[in-house]
Structure 1
Amino acid sequence: MNRTSAPDRPAAQAAPAAWEELVTSALLGTDRRPPATGGPRRAAPVALLDAAALETVRRRAGLRAAPAVRRPDPAADDPRPALPAAAARRLALLLADRPGTGSGGRRGTSPDLKELLPQWLAAANGHGYAAPAESLPALLDAARGRTDLRPAALTFAGPRALWLARLNPDWRFALRAAPGGAAAPGPDTPERVRQVWEEGLFSERVALLSALRSRDAAAARELLVASWATERAEDRLMFLDSLRTGLYADDEPFLEAALSDRSRNVRATAAELLSALPASALARRMAARAGSCVSVDRTRDVPAIVVEAPLECDTSMERDGVVAKPPTGRGQRSWWLGQLVEAASLGSWSRRLGGRSPREIVALPVADGWQAELHAAWCRAAVRQDDAEWSRALLGAPSAPEAGGPGAVSLAERAKLLGTLATAERAEWVAGFIATHGLSEAFQLLGVCAVPWAGPLGRAVVDALDIARDAGSYPWSFSGVMGLAERCLDPAEAGRLEGLLAVPDESEDAAPGAGGYWAEAFQRLMTTLRLRATMSEELAPPRPSGP
């Protein structure tokens, strides 16, 4: 039976028009478009708001029920242990923190919580905790806005993050960026692996290949070989780049074949990967070419390296990845020489240069102004081949003039060389650099040191900050290092900061008020270190009860 009478139908049809009338009045203003409702004693804005409230309730009450839809399947269970209650409350505070609105370079003494979130996530993942369900939306929102958070955040969020990402388009990044290929099929489902590889979106195929590469490098390579001939050039380049994970000798035949690819970028990437395998045929070919250009002149009073750069770039050199055309302002021959040396196996130089060690080779003078070019190429080779012995030789002693070492020509290059050293050795070298040269050039070098900083490195940083304070400058000149110290200094160093909290007497040449600003900065540093210690205690698993 139809319960809607004929007089009711026009009223129902007029409802959208009434709402549009109210919206128009709100947009134009009640002075220009007074609302149709309300008496003469009521102010027009009040009448408009009352009418809008009434119309909103009526519109909601009059909604027609939608057809029922199938409920989504429940999220997979997360078998990991629950986060301790104190740590869960801390996570909520970290996710709720927003950047401050202060100006003038002052941050106060409160810790910057948003910068502690990555460290908190790393520690939580180290304990193997599962994320509280109520924190997942805020966690995914934070990872959406900060790509640096995504690997740790998605590891912590677990399978429920992927379940949520399928329901909210704003979180779809989780399906592509899940660490370790969490969205990819497992090794026990080969049919599904093949289906995703043949039918999936490009992002899904990249995630699948990376996931397979991390657990079975040979299987990932075989999957790539099967479809290589039919892939687009830009896709081949992305897929080839995935071989950097776990690169090993068995990849050489495939990479050698890729040197003949029709795409120049694919050929260049294949050559770069082959040169990272010192025993590869390409590395040996490059060593032979480079060796014919570099030799030791023993006729001089002091033996020296002499260089005869290539006269041409032939087709075989181009096939092995040498780019023939140099950048603007760069000489052709020096450009070709640098590419040959950086791709040559570093182990070949000792045989070609009189059995000398890397340190002895780097110490030799280089004739005719070729030293910078030759040593820079050796630096690139040491990083590419992850050769710690050559890196030590090229870095030199941290106390050397300008701390440049024989071959390091820039801070960025030194940082890359340090990345090949063991954690403790890296921290020791940077501590020596800071002790000799201060903090003015230390920011990039500190960024490659493991967290928390080793004791000698932490003490060197604190001592250098103390010296900078005594020099009378403002702490804002060292805000980058101070920010790193808040995140990376061992919390055990907090006690050493107590003596730096007092405002020192200002000398005549000191910047006005600098002492107070330094005291504030050290107070914030100490507060942050103690907060980090508390966070670590909150994440510690509960001790078993018993006698």
Structure 2
Amino acid sequence: MRATAAAPDTPAAVPWEEVVTVALLGTDRRTPPWLPPGREAPRALLDLAAVKTVRRRAGLRPAPAKPRPEPAAADPRPPLPPAAARRLAMLLSNRPGTAGGGRRGTAPDLMELLPQWLALANERGFAAPPEALPALLDAARGRTDLRPAALAFAGPRALWLARLNADWRFALRSAPGGGSEPPPDETDRIRQLWQEGLFAERVALLGALRARRPAAARALLTTTWATERAEDRLMFLDSLRTRLGSADEPFLEQALSDRSRNVRATAAELLSALPDSALAGRMAERAVACVAVDRTRGEPTIVVEAPHQCDAGMERDGVVPKPPAGRGERSWWLGQLAEAAPLGSWAARLGGRTPEEIVALPVADDWRGELHAAWCRAAVRQRDTGWSRALLGPPSAPDAGGPGAVSLAERAKLLSTLGAEERADWVAGFIAAHGLSEAFQLLGVCATPWAAPLGRAVVDALNIARDAGSYPWSFSGVMGLAERCLDPVEATRLDALTGIPDETEDTSPGAGSYWAEAFQRLTTTLRLRAAMQEELGAVPPDPRPV
């Protein structure tokens, strides 16, 4: 028997698009004739939509299967010990919130321990468990500070997953060539990636090549330099900071004539970090001409005659002619000349004095702050430890600063030029003399875990603040740093501080219980860090054959 076609006004003949339209408008606004009137209309519409959905899915023809993706590259590193794998899962799945009122309770902040765990796992050479990779990539996606360590730990499987999930594409941008960097000897592939790759891939490729073969990276950059956009030239030029040397001077000298002011300024900064460069010599000649020692006063005194103009030669060498708001032109020009001049040129100009003797000289006419600030910037740029020590002065100096350090930021930068042990000793002495009120920024430049003298100085200062009934929340930043940076062996010493201290009339309300919570959290976190280290064990042997 031949089937008869359904009438147009019956539900079976209603097109799918019409069903969707009625559902979007609502049956109270539009009730077509193929639906019952009244309160039954919504139910009938949903029944019809369900039937048509089944029909549409059942009527689809299966498409040809796509080729299977190539397997991820093998990871030769040994797997994590079971206890460490469980700890990683805990760190990735737990993120305690902060309670109201600024109080965090006694539970450790596990997400803040994840960077340290990743550093330990990478140091010991373990491979990430495959089942942990999605959560690890999600964590790295939300925190850029995690990405280098997380991607190093995740290994080649992370790049394989990133090609399949757009949310993880940052992993491809963070690896040279999207994880497919050509070997150093394949120059044709390197050149092709440089010419055809995405901007992020090119930046990563240039940085990686610069770290291994500085001359090859510079030569690659010159092949397209003239055709690059100004903002791209600036980013590429910044890669020359890695393994900067005298061989880079000719290229940087040419960049001093670049049409972009930012590119010219960066080139001049890099050249000034090379004490033997021609630019450094020109800046030294200009700077020392502005400074002399006046011996006619009661004691030798530095006198300053700042530049009266900024000529074309100064501009080409990176001096910015227009000062920022609130700065005088002459002091602005003097500061730029002094910070770009090699620090070694000042001894001859100022009577063969040492950096300590130069910094100790009085400076006439209120030029001391400007001159010392410029020397601070020069010491950081040129990584001159002798001048850094002189400008820092002893940590116990009055007013929480040395003779040349003009701010906490300057002191932190000067400290970064010193070795880890010397840096920690200086900051420990600073805390012992001045307390913790200004130490947070200085603690941030110290190597972790903190050396024993620095750790003891921080704990002693926290204890003093606790006993004095100080307002506890003002030390929350230092306490957070201590949780991440204090050596776990200090946990036993801290047990005595976990009780609630007696409150006096001068104590801030609730301070005692807050301090008890903070020290309980600190000791718990330190013991957790100790357990993390034990779970990861010693550095495993290299699995590659000898």
Q: Calculate the TM-score normalised by the size of structure 2.
A: 0.92
Distance 1:123 1:97, change over 3 A: same
Q: Tell me what 1:214 maps to.
A: 211
Report the AA paired with residue 16 of structure 1. W
**Aligned residue in 1 for 2:478:** 481
1:80 equivalent to 2:73? Answer no
Partner residue, 1:164: 161
Contact 1:37 1:47 in 2 (8 A): no
Q: Which amino acid aligns with 1:109?
A: T
Offset, 1:475: 2.3
User: What residue identity is the alignment partner of 2:261?
Assistant: R
Residue 87 of structure 2 aligns to a residue in which SS?
helix
Q: Read off the aligned partner of 1:373 and give its amino acid letter.
A: E
Relative distance call for 1:89 and 1:310 in structure 2 (3 A) is same
Instruction: Give distance in 1, aligned partners of 2:192 and 2:358.
Output: 53
Checking the alignment, whether the CA contact within 8 Å between 2:177 and 2:205 is kept in structure 1 is no
Aligned equivalent of 2:190: 193
Q: What residue number does 1:462 align with?
A: 459
Q: Indicate which of 317, 321, 334 corresponds to 2:318.
A: 321
Paired with 2:428 and 2:385, the residues of 1 have a C-alpha distance of 18
1:445-491 CA-partner distances (Å, limit 9, x unpaired): 00000110000111111111111111213422111111111000000
Match of 1:300 among 297, 300, 305: 297
Q: Please give the alpha-carbon distance, in whole angstroms, between the structure 1 residues aligned to 2:411 and 2:12.
A: 75
Alignment of 1:29-40 (within 5 A): none
- What does 1:35-184 align with in structure 2 at a 5 Å threshold? 60-178=57-175, 182-184=179-181
Query: Cα gap change, 1:20/1:289 in structure 2, threshold over 3 Å: closer, same or farther?
Result: same
SS in 2 for 1:535: helix
Partner of 2:24: 24
What is the number of residues matched between the two proteins? 538
User: Whole-Å Cα distance in 1 between the matches of residues 324 and 24 of structure 2?
Assistant: 61
| Unaligned runs of at least 5 residues, structure 1 | none
Give the Cα–Cα distance (whole angstroms) in 2 for the partners of residues 217 and 354 of structure 1.
Answer: 39
Distance between the aligned counterparts of 2:510 and 2:297, measured in 1? 60
Residue in structure 2 matched with residue 471 of structure 1 by the alignment: 468
Residue 293 of structure 1 and its aligned partner are, at CA, apart by: 0.5
In 1, Cα distance between equivalents of 2:240 and 2:540: 43
- The within-5 A match list for 1:183-332 is 183-332=180-329
Distance 1:38 1:505 in 2: 78
Aligned equivalents of 1:12, 1:86: Cα separation in 2 = 61
**1:366 is matched with which residue?**
363
- Distance in 1 (alpha carbons) for counterparts of 2:74 and 2:437: 50
Moved more, 16-25 or 89-98: 16-25
Q: What is the CA-CA distance between 1:22 and the residue it aligns to?
A: 8.2
| 1:9-46 Cα shifts (integer Å, max 9, x gaps) | 99887473486268538xx6x98899999999x99999
Q: Distance in 2 between matches of 1:304 and 1:298?
A: 7
What SS does the aligned partner of 1:104 have? Answer: helix
What does 1:434-449 correspond to in 2, within 5 Å? 434-449=431-446
Does 1:514 find its partner at 2:511?
yes
- Flag the 1:539–1:50 CA change in 2: closer, same or farther, 3 A: farther
SS at match of 2:100: coil
Distance 1:131 1:509, change over 3 A: same
1:99–1:261: structure 2 CA closer, same or farther, 3 Å change rule? same
Give the counterpart letter for 1:102 in structure 2.
Answer: A
Aligned match of 1:337 in 334, 339, 345? 334
Moved more, 30-39 or 83-92: 30-39
Name the CA distance, whole Å, in 1 between partners of 2:476 and 2:527: 19
Structure-1 separation of matches of 2:464 and 2:284: 48
- Secondary structure of the corresponding residue to residue 95 of structure 1: helix
SS of residue in 1 equivalent to 2:310:
coil
AA paired with 1:539? L
Question: Does the CA contact (< 8 Å) of 2:125 and 2:540 recur in 1?
Answer: no
SS in 1 for 2:101: coil
% of aligned pairs identical?
75
Residue 402 (structure 1) aligns with: 399
- Per the TM alignment, residue 178 of structure 1 is displaced from its structure 2 partner at its CA by 2.4
The 8 Å contact of residues 136 and 161 in structure 1, kept in 2 or not, is answered as yes
Task: Give the distance between the partners of 1:157 and 1:5, measured in 2 at CA.
Answer: 62
Q: 1:6 to 1:361 in 2, by over 3 A?
A: farther
The answer (yes or no) to whether the contact 2:385–2:417 under 8 Å persists in 1 is yes
CA distance in 2, matches of 1:16, 1:165: 37
**Which shifted more, 231-240 or 338-347?**
231-240
Give the Å deviation of 1:212.
0.5
- Pick aligned residue for 2:411 from 411, 414, 423: 414
- Cα 1:12–1:217 change in 2 (3 A) is farther
More moved, 283-292 vs 373-382: 283-292
Instruction: Work out the CA distance in 2 between the residues paired with 1:299 and 1:284.
Output: 30
Query: Cα distance 1:497–1:300, how it changes in 2: closer, same or farther (>3 A)?
Result: same
Contact 2:210 2:243 in 1 (8 A): yes
The question of whether the paired residues in 2 share the 8 Å contact of 1:37 and 1:48 is answered with no
In structure 2, the residue corresponding to 1:295 is in which secondary structure? strand
Question: Which residue identity does 1:505 align to in structure 2?
Answer: D
Partner SS, residue 321 of structure 1: coil
Task: Give the direction of change, closer, same or farther, for the CA distance of 1:13–1:43 in structure 2 (3 Å limit).
Answer: closer
- The 3 A distance-change label for structure 1 pair 121 and 44 is farther
Superposition deviation, residue 383 in structure 1: 0.5
1:356 and 2:353 matched: yes
The aligned amino acid for 1:498 is D
Of the structure 1 ranges 7-16 and 170-179, higher mean CA displacement relative to structure 2 is found in 7-16
Distance 1:44 1:507 in 2: 74
What is the alpha-carbon distance in structure 2 between the residues aligned to residue 221 and residue 518 of structure 1? 55
Cα distance, 1:289 vs structure 2: 0.7
Quote the Cα distance in structure 2 between the aligned partners of 1:418 and 1:492. 26
Distance (Å, rounded) in 2 between the aligned partners of 1:377 and 1:327: 16
Residue 531 of structure 2 corresponds to: 534
- Letter of the 1:158 counterpart: G
Matches of 1:73 and 1:444 in 2, distance apart? Answer: 48
Q: What letter corresponds to residue 436 of structure 2 in structure 1?
A: L
